Structure 1
Amino acid sequence: MPIEIKELHIKINVNEGSKSAASPSSSESKDDDAIAECVEQVMKIIQRKKER
């Protein structure tokens, strides 16, 4: 018997004031790379759905 999930609750905590040990420029470039990769994957998924 399959399980159906009707609701999904996600809770996150964001600390805007915290500073990390890494330099800001390197972490920003890593974040930008990760975001660009995610956007690219989402666009590929959308294109595949349009082809169907």
Structure 2
Amino acid sequence: MPIEIKELHIKINVNEGSKPATSPSTPKSTDEDAVAECVEQVLKIIERKKER
């Protein structure tokens, strides 16, 4: 029997005074690749949801 999740609660704590998680020496192409991968995964999830 499949389980259906109807609500998802996400809680995030933000500290404004802390340093950023990524280092400034990280190339922007790596960040762009990560964003592109996330977008691709979200689109795949949406397509799978439409098939149901």
TM-score tier (shorter):
0.5 to 0.7
Aligned residues: 42
Query: Which residue is equivalent to 2:5?
Result: none
Q: Which protein has the larger Cα radius of gyration, Structure 1 or Structure 2? A: 1
Structure 2 unmatched ranges of 5 or more: 1-7
Query: Which residue is equivalent to 2:49?
Result: 49
Percent identity between matched residues is 51
1:38/1:7 CA distance change after superposition, 3 Å: closer
Higher share in helix: 1
Structure 1 runs of 4+ with >3 Å offset: 13-16
RMSD of aligned Cα (Å): 2.8
Instruction: Give distance in 1, aligned partners of 2:40 and 2:14.
Output: 24
TM-score between the two structures when normalised by the length of structure 2: 0.59
Aligned partner of 1:12 among 11, 14, 30: 14
TM-score between the two structures when normalised by the length of structure 1: 0.59
Structure 1 unmatched ranges of 5 or more: 1-5
Deviation at 1:27, TM superposition (A): 1.9
